[in-house]
Amino acid sequence: MLDRQDWLQEEILRFKREKDVLILAHNYQIPEVQDIADIVGDSLELSLQAANTQRARIVFCGVYFMAETARILSRKPVLMPVESAGCPLANMATAEALRQWKVEHPQAAVVAYINSSAAVKALSDIVCTSANALKIVQTVPQNEVIFLPDQGLGSWIAEQTDKQLWLWPGFCPTHYHLVPNDLARARQLHPSAKVLVHPECRHEVRALADAVLGTGGMLRLVHTDPAAAFIVGTEEGLLHRLRKENPGKEFFLASPLLLCPNMKKTDLASLHRCLAENCTQIEVPSEVEEGARRALERMLSIS
């Protein structure tokens, strides 16, 4: 007899075929969800897949702003197994506050990190992800840039450009758990390992790393880098792909606190329920949809 996990997997695959669904999963999802998804990736990769899919509908395993982005770009029904899976960083910037900030800096371009609401994207000139933020900031014609909502990624970009960046004081609570002492301890335990950290980390943490990269960049670097061991300073879900795709290499999480509770809300049971019962579709208010799509499509056109 099939055990529960095997049964859930078979049923998910059956519903996926019957309902012509594309299952997208972010790199931070739990291993069982990553393994059953059609595509696993970072926001940029998943946005491109959503924009180009021929499937009838999308089930997005990630957090709310990602499903909202998939809905805007694909114009297709997008379902999310657990709608309460939000992003505290995205919730730190409101459209109302951005409106006021634009009045204070009328010459500035607005670059919104993809970890933001559709309403914030709609008021922005262009969107960026951790994979393309520097390129996007360099591409906008203005020398002044309002960058929101992540001050970690924003300050990382500010260190690499001559442009004047106005940074919103938002932060990712998960990446902010990582502190310099964690890296010192991890280096002591694994002296030959390379340290990779995410740009959402604090400045003091980034300064101690061997490389600062988004999840897609970390995956690419590890494939080609001769090092045999890596200390990883991002959400622990990425370790599943790193280990699966690099069986000869070792990976150590830089801190046990690098765990996003929202990314862990989706599991096989909630994914199955979503497919079986057609859970609620993500709705984007019509007054923001077009503006957010324009800012997202600008990003895709130069990525």
Chain residues binding ligand CIZ by CB under 6 A are: 27, 42-43, 114-115, 129-130, 198, 214-215
CB nearer ligand CIZ, residue 12 or residue 299: 299
Alpha-carbon span 177 to 226, nearest angstrom? 29
- By beta-carbon distance, which residue lies closest to ligand CIZ? 214
Q: How near is the Cβ of 217 to ligand CIZ at its closest, in Å?
A: 8
Question: Quick one: 81 or 199, whose CB is closer to ligand CIZ?
Answer: 199
Contact 81, 59 (CB under 8 A): yes
Closest CB to ligand CIZ among residues 144, 217: 217
* CB nearer to ligand CIZ: pick between 234 and 275: 234
Rounded to the nearest whole angstrom, what is the least distance from the CB of residue 216 to ligand CIZ in the complex?
6
- Helix 286-301 vs helix 64-74: angle between axes, to the nearest 10 degrees? 80
Strand order of the β-sheet with 164-167 is 126-128, 109-113, 144-148, 164-167
User: Which positions ≥6 away from 213 have C-beta within 8 Å?
Assistant: 130, 196, 197, 198, 199, 221
| Closer residue to ligand CIZ in complex, CB, 81/237 | 237
Supply the minimum distance, in Å, between the C-beta of residue 234 and ligand CIZ. Answer: 7
Residue ranges of the alpha helices (H) in 159-246? 173-176, 180-189, 203-206, 215-224, 238-245
Cis ω for the linkage preceding 149 (within 30 of 0) = yes
Structure token pair of residue 96 = 């109302």
Q: CB of 114: closest distance to ligand CIZ in angstroms?
A: 6
Any idea what the Cα angle at residue 218 is, between residues 213 and 221, rounded to 5°? 110
Q: Nearest distance from residue 270's CB to ligand CIZ, in Å?
A: 20
Q: Judged by CB, which is closer to ligand CIZ: 8, or 70?
A: 70
The least CB distance from residue 252 to ligand CIZ, in Å, is 19
